[in-house]
Structure 1
Amino acid sequence: MAIFTSPAAKIPNPPANFRTPRKAQCRSSSTVAMSAPCVSDEIEQSKLVWVWTESKQVMTAAVERGWSTFLFPSEPRFREIAEEWSSIALIQPHFFDGSEIFNEKNELLAFIYDVSSPQQLQKLQPDDDNSDTVVINFSGEWQVIPAENIVAAFQGSKKTVLAVSTSSSEAQVFIEALEKGLDGVVLKVEEIEEILKLKDYFERRSEVRNHLSLTRATVTRVEAVGMGDRVCVDLCSLMRPGEGLLVGSFARGLFLVHSECLESKYIASRPFRVNAGPVHAYVAVPGGRTCYLSELKAGKEVIVVDQRGFQRTAVVGRIKIESRQLILVEAKDLNENIYSIFLQNAETVGLICPLEGDKATKTSIPVTSLKVRDEVLLRLQGGARHTGIEIQEFIVEK
């Protein structure tokens, strides 16, 4: 399949008698979070995905996952494919000819740029007003820095900027460039697996916008129990006061263990670290799953949760397992159900406290100061698990 042609200069002017219909200038694609109307505030919260493929199986997989906009060359055989697919599924076919992208009604929607040099990158300017949408093919060896330069140059612009990606991992680079990312991607693939991987990535992204329900629990037992192999989880992200990981001896009740971000007299703050507990404990990971602390390793993701229940994903940078003195903490919920956790017996290890009303009067309590009747936060969920996935079955844990 032919790749994009590079415009010789700035975005070419449309024909003199051509007027882009207002409707054609709206985002004409499926979005990740929702099907957004042409409203800038809502558009900011979503990422566009167009799919460029000749595979009917890839098309089917994409449509089943909510992505219905497909990009084709304008040659007759591709128009025949688009017509065939339109009879199978409700899709929005777009066609490119040279540097221009049109819809089925031959309305100009976007311009394509092939960027392989700094000079070509500089020709892309947000004040060019010929089209609301720009598609960029970064055909050179460099992708990350050029994408970041585009994000910086187009910030505050009303233009929609997409990048051509040949894999889900490449798409992630463009979506996360300078944190804000480009507005979306054109996923040019012939394998279903790449569709599945990209959808899984977006689901993990959208998961962090959900608010987790946390439960107030009352401490019923605090007891030193001897030595054990405990796990420190060092993340590739910094944590703020009130944030930590969900950890527990039972998946049905996970304690919110505070990070080591707080200052102390005897040891420097380590805002990237959670002293999480012994190797057998469960920890919450993306997708509503759990895994054992002993299974974590560099590159895996965990869920970071704050005092109000807001969550985000973070990448594990390192795991440290060392033999340390442990303390057993048990707590009960309002229904008198008992949950437990083991933690290192140290002043830098703490459990996060509930809010009082809407205010955080206290962030955490060190386990060395924890007493019966103190209140901490729990995440309650299904206890039966198979490879970390919640299942419905009879189970007794104690």
Structure 2
Amino acid sequence: MAVSSSSSGSANALACFHASLLAPQTRRTAVASASPRRDSVRMRASTAAPVELKKTVWVWTENRQVMKAAVERGWSTFLFGSKDLGEDWSSTARINPLFIDGPEIFDGENQKVAEISQVSSPRELELVQPDNVEVKNIVIDFRGGWQVIPAENIVAAFQGCRGTVLAVSTNSTEAQVFLEALEQGLDGVVLKVDEMDDIIKLKDYFDRRNEAKSQLPLTKATVSKVEVVGMGDRVCVDLCSMMRPGEGLLVCVGSYARGMFLVHSECLETNYIASRPFRVNAGPVHAYVTVPGGKTSYLSELRSGKEIIVVDQHGLWRTAIVGRVKIESRPLVLVEAKDNSGDDTYSIFLQNAETVALITDDTGSSGRTAIPVTSLTVGDEVLVRKQGGARHTGIEIQEFIVEK
């Protein structure tokens, strides 16, 4: 989702709430796959990219440092209770000042741009309906302790209506609750804070979920070696999200760390074991896995609640939460592959089992998008993500390093 700062003078300002407020987020839909065979797994994932969702952020503060931090992060719409303060700040920064007068919000030309509705009871919540709104923006101030359920009810009620529905948030955690309600979230938030830390945290939240703009470059590598090596401690990563055919985790063994293999999830039905679309049998304990922020983590360091990146064969990614990590001793197989555009060699250890697969491109004549490691042969092509440097505490750095 991308971050935008809403302006009352926007060219596409909407006259009333009667079309689409919250367009359903386009998801990469899973396409039913044929029954998997031992020699290959046939599956397809949609090539459609997700729709870029814009979330509005207005900042309500009397702290000039908070204002500066917000402007530096691209948020320029500010709410003021005093016109003198708004005019003073406008003289030092390029901002869009809005002024609060009771339950209404006006722009600098004294045009009404929004209404504030306080919600502290079910009855007050019922009054906040599209048919009762006459302006293009509504700001909801949830009071009385309940936030999640009322926010979900607002998302449902205003689905298909034009305009902007924002919720007053007193910290970045509350803002996240409103932005994720019923998955779609409200249209935006009014961040009412006097601490810079909340501005920084909210911007970091958007950056980590900026899926619409994020597509990781993947490249083909040709398998050059497949070797059964014996027992090792491997890690199954169970997520709090379902994965679709063609999705998995980017993993490498720590040696040859400049290439991450795309390991498929266990989302497919078989004759011998039920589908586990939340799980990736990712590799041994010392392997790296990609996490948000351009970082990696050892598989052994993953814990419940940690964020991780799920990637599909087109490079589109999304974040997910780790539910649990399961480490068990299992027979391993070593896979090495050479970069098709150079001489680099990458390697990965995986459990030697039919349910463990590497993702490949889906443009070939075979139509395969994943190959079980038990069927992997020299000459097969799989997808990897090339990395440019060594790693220190999960962060890419430029230094002399030899890995074997």
Instruction: Please report the TM-score for the alignment, with normalisation by the length of structure 1.
Output: 0.87
Deviation sequence 1:329-388 (CA, Å, 0-9, x none) = 00001212100000011111110111225x881121111111111111101122312222
**Alignment match, 1:330:** 336
Which residue pairs with 2:310 in the alignment?
304
Correspondent of 2:272 among 262, 266, 275:
266
Query: CA separation in 2, counterparts of 1:314 and 1:30?
Result: 26
Q: Give the secondary-structure state (helix, strand or coil) at the position aligned to 2:54.
A: coil
| TM-score (structure 2 length as normaliser) | 0.86
The aligned residue for residue 230 of structure 1 is: 234
**Which position in structure 2 is the counterpart of 1:25?**
none
Within the alignment, does 1:79 sit opposite 2:83 as a pair? yes
Q: Distance in 2 between matches of 1:37 and 1:263?
A: 50
Q: Does the 8 Å CA contact 1:307/1:353 hold for their aligned counterparts?
A: yes
> Post-superposition shift, 1:303?
1.0
Deviation at 1:287, TM superposition (A): 1.8
Give the SS at the match of 1:149: helix
What one-letter code is carried by the residue in structure 2 that aligns with 1:217? A
> Secondary structure of the equivalent of 1:127?
helix
User: Using a 3 Å threshold, how does the CA distance of structure 1 residues 37 and 257 change in structure 2: closer, same or farther?
Assistant: farther
- Choose from 341, 347, 356 the match for 1:349: 356
Aligned length: 363
The CA RMSD measured in Å over matched residues stands at 2.0
* Residue of structure 2 equivalent to 1:374: 380
**Match for 1:98 among 81, 86, 102?**
102
Q: Which residue of 1 aligns with 2:55?
A: 47
Code of the aligned partner of 1:270: R
Query: Is 1:60 aligned to 2:72, yes or no?
Result: no
Query: Bigger CA drift: 98-107 or 38-47?
Result: 38-47
Q: Is the 8 A contact 1:126 1:159 kept in 2?
A: no
Tell me which of 343, 346, 354 is aligned to 1:339. Answer: 346
CA contact (8 A) 2:6 2:77 kept: no
Instruction: Tell me the equivalent position of 1:219.
Output: 223
Closer, same or farther: CA 320–48 of 1 in aligned 2, 3 Å: same
Residues in 2 aligned to 1:319 and 1:208: alpha-carbon distance in whole angstroms: 28
Q: What secondary structure does 1:382 align onto?
A: coil
> Which residue in the other structure is 1:203 paired with?
207
- Shift in CA distance, 349/64, structure 1 to aligned 2, threshold 3 Å: same
| Seq. identity, % | 68
Question: Which has the higher relative contact order, 1 or 2, with Cα contacts under 8 A spaced 6 or more apart?
Answer: 2
Distance in 1, Cα, partners of 2:152 & 2:322: 24
In the alignment, which residue of structure 1 is the partner of 2:40? none
Alignment partner, residue 134 of structure 2: 130
**Does the CA contact (< 8 Å) of 2:13 and 2:136 recur in 1?**
no
Secondary structure of the 2:130 match is coil
Q: Distance in 2 between matches of 1:39 and 1:79?
A: 24
Q: Quote the offset at 1:138 in angstroms.
A: 0.3
Give the Cα–Cα distance (whole angstroms) in 2 for the partners of residues 368 and 37 of structure 1. 58
Aligned to 1:319: 325
1:87: Cα distance to partner? 1.8
Whole-angstrom distance in 1 between the partners of 2:329 and 2:131:
61
- Is 1:30 equivalent to 2:5 in the alignment? yes
- Read off the aligned partner of 2:134 and give its amino acid letter: N
Deviations 1:12-47, CA, capped at 9 Å, x for gaps: xxxxxxxxxxxxxxxxx7159xx9852789996200
Say if 2:99 and 2:107, in contact at 8 Å, map to a contact too. yes
**1:147 aligned onto 2:122:** no
Contact conserved, 1:251 with 1:290, CA < 8 A, in 2?
Answer: no
- Which residue type is aligned with residue 355 of structure 2? T
1:6 corresponds to which residue? none
What amino acid is the match of 1:127?
D
1:168-201, CA deviations, whole angstroms, 9 ceiling, x for partnerless residues?
1110111111111111000011111110000001
Cα distance change on mapping 1:317 and 1:274 into 2, 3 Å: same
- Asked if 1:188 corresponds to 2:195, the answer is no
Distance 2:234 2:375 in 1: 20
Secondary structure of the corresponding residue to residue 238 of structure 1:
coil
Q: 1:18 matched to which residue of 2?
A: none
Distance (whole Å) between structure 1 residues aligned to residue 330 and residue 134 of structure 2: 65
Shift of 1:79: 2.5
Matches within 5 A, 1:252-263: 252-263=258-269
Q: Distance in 1 between matches of 2:13 and 2:366?
A: 36
Alpha-carbon distance between aligned partners in 2 of 1:68 and 1:192, rounded to the nearest angstrom: 15
The runs of 5 or more residues in structure 2 that have no matched partner are: 15-19, 24-52
- The match for 1:70 is 78
**Cα distance, 1:227 vs structure 2:** 1.4
Structure 1 residues 360 and 194: CA distance shift in structure 2, 3 A: farther
Partner of 1:171: 175
Query: Residue 397 of structure 1: CA displacement?
Result: 1.8
Structure 1: runs of 5 or more not aligned: 1-28
Cα deviation for residue 220 of structure 1 reads 0.6
Q: CA deviation at 1:85?
A: 1.4
